[in-house]
Amino acid sequence: MSSTHQLTLPLQEAQVRALKTGDLVYLSGELVMTAGLPTHQRILACVQSGQPLPLNLAGEVLLQFGGYNREVDGRMQVVYMNPTTSTRFNPYMPTLIRKLGLRAVGGKGGLDAESARAMQESGCVYLSFPGGGCTLYSGAIREVLAVEWRDLILHYRLMRLRVENLGPGTVGIDAAGNSLYDQLAAQAAQRLPEILEQLRRARAQAAASRGAPS
Amino acid sequence: MAVTYELVKEVTARLYETSLRKIPEDTKQALRAAAGRDRSETARKTLRIMVQSAEAAERQQHFVCSDSGVPVYFVKLGTRVQLVGDFKRAIVDGFAELVRTISPPLLQHVTHPLTLERGYQGKDMPIVTYDLIDGADYVEITCSPKALGSGRWAALEIFSFPSLETIEGYVMQVILKAGSQHCPPVVIGVGIGGTFDYAAKLAKEAMLRPFGQPHAEPMVAAMEERLLKAANATGFGPMGTGGDTTAMAVHVNYAAGHGFTPVAVCFNCWINRRTRARLYNSGLVEYAE
């Protein structure tokens, strides 16, 4: 049985280590998000060169979410947001997880084994949010605290938001080194010979019912 | 009477907008059915969130997904249709006007493939392909916006006199490579035969076929059925976090070819963007979704 957790941000390491793959989480508090590849490259460059980031990411939750942001009456708004494919950021994540001490990364599609190792070492989890959850997730936005790197297109910018009950996200990779993505890929590869055998039998049956050689 | 520039502009923009706000009814039903059937608790929960999200977007006239993809249209022109005004221009202008007026606004997803710069416009956008329907007095337009999430996992390989075993083995290989990535449960389109370009088009058209309409030829319908079982036996499940529901449907189309047989496989993510309309000479418009 999986558990459901209501988590208040920032997350403590012990809270993160208590999460198991398959658990559901709702997040309340401040987090950072971006959907940009150039943004991840820029964060990595800052981390590696020691340059300051425009907003704090140390010990934070980083969501790989794209969001439409705009300024209305001098205040920034995020009109909507939604997860993007996290595996695009595989090359950057192990370093970012370790150096920034990220407590959770969220998006869709998971991260690779190297990122999972970094998560296990640092005490970080990966949260899967269904793509196509735009309306539900956008309803959780309470305040936009900062929108940085405005030279980038809207959904690549680095945004700091306060959310309430953002979720549910499914723990896809936990801090004990378990990754649903790696497990399921290995399981599918293991099942493949049997699946191909089932297909062969079904073809033979279909051919027999048409009176044709299989 | 005729199908005018104004009508094509208005209808193509509306098809795009509808596809962003509303998932097809058959798809909603398939997700609901899977939510009651999947043996994995995580899968059932994920499927229920998907249904909730789709219902909320429809009710609030919001977007199901923030990635509106790039505009893609499949046009079938009846040979008895009278066109007044520029047809492609109407689609280009309709999309440009939608970008200016839609609420909430769209993000920039049209990407220059050589510089990776993104905007709302680009060379050859919207992507439109044309076919003819002999004798028809209407134009049928299907809109299928495409984004990276599921678009990047499509694949094509050319075989020489392949057996069914080779063809189906390849389809499984593409499914395993896509794994958890394409926002499952997906719709899988398979195009077999013809030529390089034609097989891809066949796969796309198959993917856009409504559910519950197996291929008319029993041999192909049987292939669709066994490939659906096979796709769901992989265990990737909704959003790739495990379960019995990796695909909602597998649709196969084929065409005769030479001894070289292209096999194309493509995916639509769970929101299954797919809208269609017929525009008649009389000015009547029938929306199918």
CATH for A69: 3.20.130.10
Strand order in the sheet with B260-268: B155-160, B260-268, B186-193, B247-255
| Cross-chain Cβ contact A135/B64 below 8 Å | yes
Distances (CA, A) of A109 to A44, A89, A93, B105, B185: 21, 11, 14, 26, 13
- pLDDT in the model for residue B1: 82
Q: Tell me how close the Cα of A89 comes to any Cα of chain B, in angstroms.
A: 13
Whether the per-residue pLDDT at B289 is higher than 80: the answer is no
- pLDDT in the model for residue B142: 98
Query: Do A58 and A46 share a structural domain?
Result: yes
- pLDDT in the model for residue B150: 92
Query: Do B78 and B174 share a structural domain?
Result: no
Q: Is A17 helix (H, G, I), strand (E, B) or coil?
A: helix
- pLDDT in the model for residue B225: 98
Whether the per-residue pLDDT at B40 is higher than 90: the answer is yes
Across chain A, mean pLDDT equals 96
Question: Domain limits at B8?
Answer: 3-22+64-147+273-287
Sequence-distant contacts of B28-33: CB under 8 A, at least 24 apart = B28/B54, B28/B55, B29/B211, B30/B185, B30/B211, B30/B248, B30/B249, B31/B185, B31/B248, B31/B270
- Let me know if residue B183 belongs to a domain: yes
Give A213's pLDDT tier (boundaries 50, 70, 90). Answer: low
Across chain B, mean pLDDT equals 97
Query: Do A150 and A72 share a structural domain?
Result: yes
Q: Is A127 helix (H, G, I), strand (E, B) or coil?
A: strand
Residues in A closer than 8 angstroms to B66, CB to CB, are 65-68, 80-82, 134, 155
- Let me know if residue B45 belongs to a domain: no
Query: Do A117 and A57 share a structural domain?
Result: yes
- Let me know if residue B49 belongs to a domain: no
User: What average pLDDT does this structure show over B8-34?
Assistant: 98
- Let me know if residue B50 belongs to a domain: no
Query: Do B143 and B280 share a structural domain?
Result: yes
- The whole-angstrom separation of Cα B32 and Cα B46 is 11
**Identity of the residue in A132, A170, A180 whose CB atom sits nearest the CB atom of B183:** A132
Query: Do B246 and B172 share a structural domain?
Result: yes
As given in the structure block, the two tokens for residue B36 are 């009651």
Please tell me the total count of domains within chain A.
2
User: What average pLDDT does this structure show over A22-32?
Assistant: 97
What does the buried/exposed string (b/e) look like for B54-90 if buried means 16 or more CB atoms within 10 Å of the residue's CB? bbbbbeeebbbbbbbbbbbbbbbbbeebebeeebeeb
Please tell me the total count of domains within chain B.
2
Question: Domain limits at A196?
Answer: 181-214
Query: Do A210 and A113 share a structural domain?
Result: no
Query: Do B16 and B113 share a structural domain?
Result: yes
- The answer to whether A72 faces chain B, any CB pair under 8 Å, is no
Whether the per-residue pLDDT at A212 is higher than 90: the answer is no
Give B60's pLDDT tier (boundaries 50, 70, 90). Answer: very high
List, for residues B95-152, the tens digit of each pLDDT value: 999 999 999 999 999 999 999 999 999 999 999 999 999 999 999 999 999 999 899 9
Whether the per-residue pLDDT at A1 is higher than 70: the answer is no
- pLDDT in the model for residue B251: 98
- Let me know if residue B190 belongs to a domain: yes
Query: Do A194 and A172 share a structural domain?
Result: no
For residue A203, how far is the Cα from the chain centroid?
A: 40
User: What average pLDDT does this structure show over B216-224?
Assistant: 97
List, for residues B175-211, the tens digit of each pLDDT value: 999 999 999 999 999 999 999 999 999 999 999 999 9
Query: Do B103 and B18 share a structural domain?
Result: yes
Query: Do B13 and B107 share a structural domain?
Result: yes
Q: Is A196 helix (H, G, I), strand (E, B) or coil?
A: helix
- Let me know if residue B224 belongs to a domain: yes
Query: Do A65 and A8 share a structural domain?
Result: yes
Query: Do A53 and A133 share a structural domain?
Result: yes
Tell me if B95 sits within 8 A of B16, measured CB to CB.
Answer: yes
- Let me know if residue B35 belongs to a domain: no
Tell me if B179 sits within 8 A of B48, measured CB to CB.
Answer: no
Query: Do B10 and B136 share a structural domain?
Result: yes
Query: Do B154 and B136 share a structural domain?
Result: no
- Let me know if residue B257 belongs to a domain: yes
| Cross-chain Cβ contact A136/B42 below 8 Å | no
- pLDDT in the model for residue A167: 94
CA atoms within 13 A on the CB side of B195: 1
- pLDDT in the model for residue B96: 97
Q: Give which of A95, A57, A65, A74 is closest to A156, Cα–Cα.
A: A65
For residue B101, how far is the Cα from the chain centroid?
A: 24
List, for residues A38-87, the tens digit of each pLDDT value: 999 999 999 999 999 999 999 999 999 999 999 999 899 999 999 999 99
Query: Do A152 and A66 share a structural domain?
Result: yes
